[in-house]
Amino acid sequence: MARSRVYLPLRRDGLLALQAGALPAGAEVIAVAPGATEEREHEAWLQAADLAGTWATADGRRRIVVAADVDETAVDPIPGDHPMPGVLTVALPLKAVVSFHVDETVGSELGDLLWHDVTEIEAVRALVDAP
């Protein structure tokens, strides 16, 4: 089965679910097909960051974007060559996460998202919980 890169805009409760082991099925994603170019992956990341920014503004929190690799059939609709919104049809385990991207400060510009490895989930949680 081919693996697809997905970008998930998350709220704090989604991060807590991942930290506990898995995000339940039904999460919104921006996905690209397996083998997509870096440019297409970047476009998908930007779309997810925009959506996360909308949620973060409403919640008064930092933007959170998760990059993960999933089986392409775990996204509905199955991703194509261009970034497209979809929904995960299965739970997303923490082991599928590649990286976290979090605002440096509340209300940061897009270029200020900090990159964190999946092993740094505690640091991500600390950032998200910080004022």
- DSSP secondary structure code for residue 27 in this structure: -
Our measurement of the distance from residue 91's CA atom to the centroid of its chain's CA atoms, rounded to an integer in Å, reads: 14
Structure tokens given for 47: 């779309």
How many domains is the chain built from?
1
Distance in Å from the first CA to the final CA of the chain = 42
Q: CATH code at 78?
A: 3.20.170
* Residue-level pLDDT at 109: 80
What pLDDT, in 10s, does the model give residues 110-130? 777 999 999 999 999 999 988
CA–CA distances in Å: residue 73 to residues 12, 33, 70, 114: 26, 10, 8, 30
Task: State which residues form the domain around 14.
Answer: 3-129
Q: Is the pTM of this model over 0.85?
A: yes
- Return the DSSP state at 94: G
pLDDT below 50 — which residues of the chain? none
